[in-house]
Structure 1
């Protein structure tokens, strides 16, 4: 049976509203001061809900962190996929478009960058599965783009995609942790250089395969 309306909102709508307010509060607080420094009490105060209401929405801080992280990944994946779809159909153009969009989209909001590349690691093993799933999703994007190319690298494409993701991740951690942060365009240029050295016909992989 549906709950009675309260101030024009049903019970389901109130629950959804509280959940979104907690996600919004966590997006800011888990980024700064950070996951471990943020208590449930502070989250509830920022979201303007009771501590009891928190547990109607999430089972724990880790559960909330997972929801925020997965929201960031979903939005980033959508933006990167759209950029790749709009790029010319060559491997170079598609992957470069994806790299540039990923770095620009993530760094557009420092909270997103901190959550996706710093705080998710600090949260510990409870979020390792969510992070692994996110890496797998971005790996598939790179693999699907590369498989449509006329020429593919002479080594395992899945491992190469993982390596490229790892390089971009470390560049973004550097961007988050360093003061002043390196320019975003410099991060893109570096990641693209790594990609081209890996995938180009004149790169070290091609030479080693001869």
Structure 2
């Protein structure tokens, strides 16, 4: 491997190790030493890839968000072009994609909050991207929400986030189908006049 390929390989191994360790035991409980041991690289090699745990956490979180955004956009694009179908397609894909791997759900909905200031900028950027998807999904439809669309999108993101936090932290998590049904209901009711 070339030096660039070795660096890319180490970086990817660290991201994969962090994906598991930041989900459990969590961001604050995961040391650089443990990340390096899991990724099978030296501490020195870690700093060739990332400036610290915070930068690695941002890389993991940003990848989770990007993959989720792609999955949702594809589902909405393939849905019939009416509001109910787009709502159902987007929410169903979001919940199923995020919960298909509990690590992703934990990082996106629990550890993002526990990491605090480390992810504020990344989290705000992610929220903006999710609001754009909601806004774009209804922009060309004759249906208009009874309130300002951007604020409504933010409120709806908050609702689905709290449902998924409940799924992550609950001793007896609600079935994903119930989360989907609840979120679809909230979204649909939000567009009723």
Q: Check the 8 A contact 1:72/1:112 in 2, yes or no.
A: yes
Report Cα offsets for 1:141-172 as digits up to 9, x if no partner.
Answer: 00011111112112100001111100000000
**CA contact under 8 A between 1:80 and 1:98: conserved in structure 2?**
yes
How is 1:54-69 mapped onto 2 (pairs within 5 angstroms)? 54-69=46-61
Which runs of 5 or more structure 2 residues have no equivalent in the other structure?
Answer: none
1:1-40 equivalence runs, <5 A: 9-40=1-32
Structure 1 gap ranges (5+): 1-8, 201-205
* CA distance in 2 between partners of 1:56 and 1:99 (Å): 39
* Rounded Cα–Cα distance in structure 2 between residues aligned with 1:87 and 1:197: 19
Structure 1 runs of 4+ with >6 Å offset: none
The Cα shift of 1:126 comes to: 1.9
**RMSD of the alignment, in Å?**
0.6
Secondary structure at 2:109 match in 1:
helix
Query: Secondary structure, in 3 states, of the residue corresponding to 2:147?
Result: coil
Partner of 1:45: 37
TM-score normalised according to structure 2 size: 0.99
- For residues 79 and 145 of structure 2, what CA distance do their matches in structure 1 show? 21
Which is higher, the Rg of structure 1 or of structure 2?
A: 1
Aligned residues: 193
Shift of 1:95: 1.8
Q: Which has the higher contact order (CA 8 A, sep 6+)?
A: 2
Partner-residue secondary structure (3-state), 1:173 = helix
Paired residue for 1:6?
Answer: none
Matches within 5 A, 1:116-131: 116-131=108-123
Contact 1:91 1:148 (C-alpha < 8 Å) held by counterparts: no
Match of 2:157 among 165, 173, 179: 165
Q: Hey, what's the Cα distance between the residues in 1 that align with 2:25 and 2:165?
A: 16
